[in-house]
Structure formats: C-alpha cells, structure tokens
Chain A
Amino acid sequence: MPVLHDDDRDPLDDRIRELAREVNAPPATPREEMWQAISARRQAQPRRAPRPRWVPWAAAVLAVGIGIGRMSVPESNRPTTPATSVADAPRVNPTAYRLAAEEHLAQSEAFLTLFRASLERPGDHRLASATARQLLTGNRLLLDSPAARDEATRRLLEDLELVLAEIAQLSPASPAQDLDLIRDGMERGDVLSRLRQAVPTGTVPNHGAL
C-alpha cells in the first residue's frame, strides 16, 4: 500500500474542501436549548449515591468469599449464599482474588457473547438486563478488591462495567439506538477480545449470574 501524505492532493481537492465547508455549514450553537434538554434528561435518571468509606473493604472481603466459595467447594455442596467474615480476609492468598476475577471474566465473556448474538434478532432483553445487573455487582466488588491492582485487569473491569451498566439499563421500551450504542461500545473497547485473552484456556464459567 502506498504511503499517503496530506499533500497527495489533486488540485480539485482544494476546491472541494472550500465548498464542503459551505455545505451543511452549522448555525449558531443552540446551547441553552440543548442544555435544558440535557439537564431535564439527567434529572430524570437515577443518580448513584456516593459510596461510604467502608464499602471498598467490605466489597473486597465479599469478593474473596465468592472466589473461595466458587473455587474450593464442590458444586453439589455449594451453599446458596457465600459465607465469609472480615476476620478471614488477612489470611486469604492473593491467588483467590485472581481466581475470582478469572471466574467473573469467564462468566462475563460467555454472557456478552450470547448477548451480542441476541442483538441480531429483535426481542425482549429483560433477562439480559437482569443478568447484567448481577454481573455488575460482582464486577464492582472486584474493582474494589486487590484483583484490580493489576493494571490490565482493572482497565478491563472498568470497560466491562460500562458495557454491563448499559445492558442493565435496557428495558422493553429502550430504542434500538441503545442496542447499537452497546454493540458499538463493545467493539470500540474491544471488550470481548480482551475478555477472551484474559480468561485462561479451559476456564468454564460456573453457575452464578449465568
């Protein structure tokens, strides 16, 4: 492929460029009108309350509990809710955080693969929305845990959080544009590919959100 330079330009290009600036020339920005609309829509959205200071620590403990529970208890014997206590936390091996993160990322990868396929046909996305909310909870716990100390993992969890949050907000009344934006967000951040790279071969998502 030839190397392209900005000056690889036909004489007609300058004329086209000048005329193109006159085509669809923007009017004055209707800033007040748009700001009123933005404010109204934002006020209609539920706002996230600021998190109390104890949340990150509690979240980390819970994430460890989930991770240990999933990795160490035979499936048939698993309790319906993970049991843990703050006193357990200091004894936890960092490997548990990593394993919990891998498990979560494997579940998320499976979910997003199914979700992306479901976008090809019209339908009700309420189940996807509910699943995304569950995954979002785990995602936020992991973001607040030592698993997120790894830079690549933290970035992946942050990007995943945006995608999951958008899916969680879907409702039967959501316009098709919302689905396009989610798909676009997944593709732009290359989220699925990064999830696949982050999940070790052979990791099969256990039960949980899926």
Chain B
Amino acid sequence: MNDRELIGRVLAGDPGAERALYDAHVDRVFRLVYRMAGDLDRAQDWVQETFIRAFDRLAGFRGESALSTWLCSIAISVSLNGMRQVRRAREREVGLDDAGPLGHQPIQADPDLRTRLGQAIEALPDGYRAVFVMHDVEGYTHDEIARALGVQTGTSKAQLFRARARLREALADFARE
C-alpha cells in the first residue's frame, strides 16, 4: 500500500492504517529525533508529539513532498522547540547571570575525542546542528533538508559548511596531534 492509500485509510478512521503508517516511518523519525535530543526520554516524548501532530494534521497534507519528508519536517519542528525548552530550563537552573546561550557554551578540555565532538555538536546553533545531523549523520539530501526546514537548498548547504567549520575549529587541537 502506498502512502496515498494509507493516508486515505487513516482519514477514513481505520486504526490499523494509523498503526501501519506509524510502523512505516517511526524508525527514521526516531533516529533523527534521538540524534537531536541526545536523550532517550526526551526523544520518546518528541517522537510521540510528532506522530500525534501528524495524525491531527494529516487531512492538510497536500502531497507536495513525500510523507517521510513531511513527517521529518514536523519532527524537526518539535525537536527544535523542545531544544529551546531544554535551554530555557538549563538557564533557569544555573541562573540568568551565569548562563550563556547554548550555542556558545565553552567546550571543556576532554581527552576523549567523542565526548569533545558530542559537546561541540551540542554547542552548534540549532539550525546548524539540524543540518549537520540530517546531512552528515543521517544521510538526508540537501533537497530533503530544505523542504523539511522550510529553507532554500543553498541555505542548507551554507549552514552545513559553517557547521563543519565550527566543528573543525572545536577539534583543531586533536587534528594537530
């Protein structure tokens, strides 16, 4: 059954079709959201929110992009909003005077390159992080990213270019070793 038929059955109220749609797309959505969240509980919450919103809005899906891209767009929107919430919560915890923006947290020296890279990715501005994770980690094309984020393809490329530059800068001392 293709996506169009599946959507028709969901809209007609077939609960089996809802589950089939979920099963067909949940792995890809979960992988992306987990990469953004970096935390299992948060990732589960955001994936659930993604599918609830998708089912609520399915009647408005016009099929201009693939259903997977549309779901990815909702997942990214939910994730970016969730990340803003997390950042605000962190700022409240440490106090406004001490909290810098998440995107400019100093990176602590760490002998482990993976840990350092994880910190550097988390320190990227949200848009850069989304593009880097989608393209370099999860293998989305720039066209898919552009549609999901609602930006031009050139913007996606530019943000990836800048994200890579920031990561190189953050890991420069490892590169020299």
- Assess A10 versus B168: contact at CB under 8 Å? Given A24-B38, A180-B84: yes
**Most B CB within 10 A of own CB, among A4, A23, A161:** A23
A37: interface (CB < 8 Å) = yes
Taken residue by residue from 31 to 58, chain A's Cβ proximity to chain B (1 for < 8 Å, 0 otherwise) reads as 1011101100110010000100000000
Q: Quick one: which of A134-167 are within 8 Å of B by CB?
A: 155, 158-159, 161-162
Q: Quick one: which of B13-45 are within 8 Å of A by CB?
A: 13, 19, 22-23, 26-27, 30-31, 34-35, 38, 40, 43-44
Q: Quick one: which of A62-116 are within 8 Å of B by CB?
A: none
Shortest beta-carbon distance, A207 to chain B, in Å? 29
Evaluate contact between B81 and A180: CB separation under 8 angstroms.
Answer: yes
B68: interface (CB < 8 Å) = no
B94: interface (CB < 8 Å) = no
Evaluate contact between A20 and B137: CB separation under 8 angstroms.
Answer: yes
Evaluate contact between B48 and A38: CB separation under 8 angstroms.
Answer: yes
Evaluate contact between A34 and B47: CB separation under 8 angstroms.
Answer: yes
Total CB contacts across the A-B interface at under 8 A: 113
- Assess A13 versus B60: contact at CB under 8 Å? Given A4-B161, A42-B55, A177-B82: no
- In the complex, chain B residues whose CB is within 8 Å of the CB of A20: 117, 121, 132-133, 136-137, 167
Evaluate contact between B114 and A22: CB separation under 8 angstroms.
Answer: yes
Give the interface SS of chain B, mostly helix, strand, loop or mixed: helix
- In the complex, chain A residues whose CB is within 8 Å of the CB of B38: 24
Evaluate contact between A188 and B77: CB separation under 8 angstroms.
Answer: yes
- In the complex, chain A residues whose CB is within 8 Å of the CB of B132: 20
Shortest beta-carbon distance, B26 to chain A, in Å? 5
Q: How many residues of B contact A (CB 8 A)?
A: 53
B78: interface (CB < 8 Å) = yes
- In the complex, chain A residues whose CB is within 8 Å of the CB of B62: 155
Give the interface SS of chain A, mostly helix, strand, loop or mixed: helix
Complex CA distance for A34 and B22, rounded to whole angstroms: 10
Shortest beta-carbon distance, A44 to chain B, in Å? 10
Complex CA distance for A201 and B43, rounded to whole angstroms: 46
Question: How many A residues touch the partner, as a band?
Answer: 35 or more
- In the complex, chain B residues whose CB is within 8 Å of the CB of A22: 114
Complex CA distance for A4 and B158, rounded to whole angstroms: 7
Complex CA distance for A21 and B31, rounded to whole angstroms: 11
A30: interface (CB < 8 Å) = yes
- In the complex, chain A residues whose CB is within 8 Å of the CB of B55: 42
Taken residue by residue from 147 to 177, chain B's Cβ proximity to chain A (1 for < 8 Å, 0 otherwise) reads as 0001000100110110010011001000100
Evaluate contact between A1 and B158: CB separation under 8 angstroms.
Answer: yes
A12: interface (CB < 8 Å) = yes
Complex CA distance for A10 and B165, rounded to whole angstroms: 9
Taken residue by residue from 1 to 17, chain A's Cβ proximity to chain B (1 for < 8 Å, 0 otherwise) reads as 10011101110110011
Complex CA distance for A26 and B167, rounded to whole angstroms: 21
* B interface list, Cβ under 8 A from A: 13, 19, 22-23, 26-27, 30-31, 34-35, 38, 40, 43-44, 47-48, 51-53, 55-57, 60, 62, 73, 77-78, 80-82, 84-85, 113-114, 117-118, 121, 132-133, 136-137, 142, 150, 154, 157-158, 160-161, 164, 167-168, 171, 175
Nearest 7 Cβ contacts at the A-B interface: A26-B34, A4-B157, A180-B81, A23-B118, A29-B30, A17-B136, A24-B38
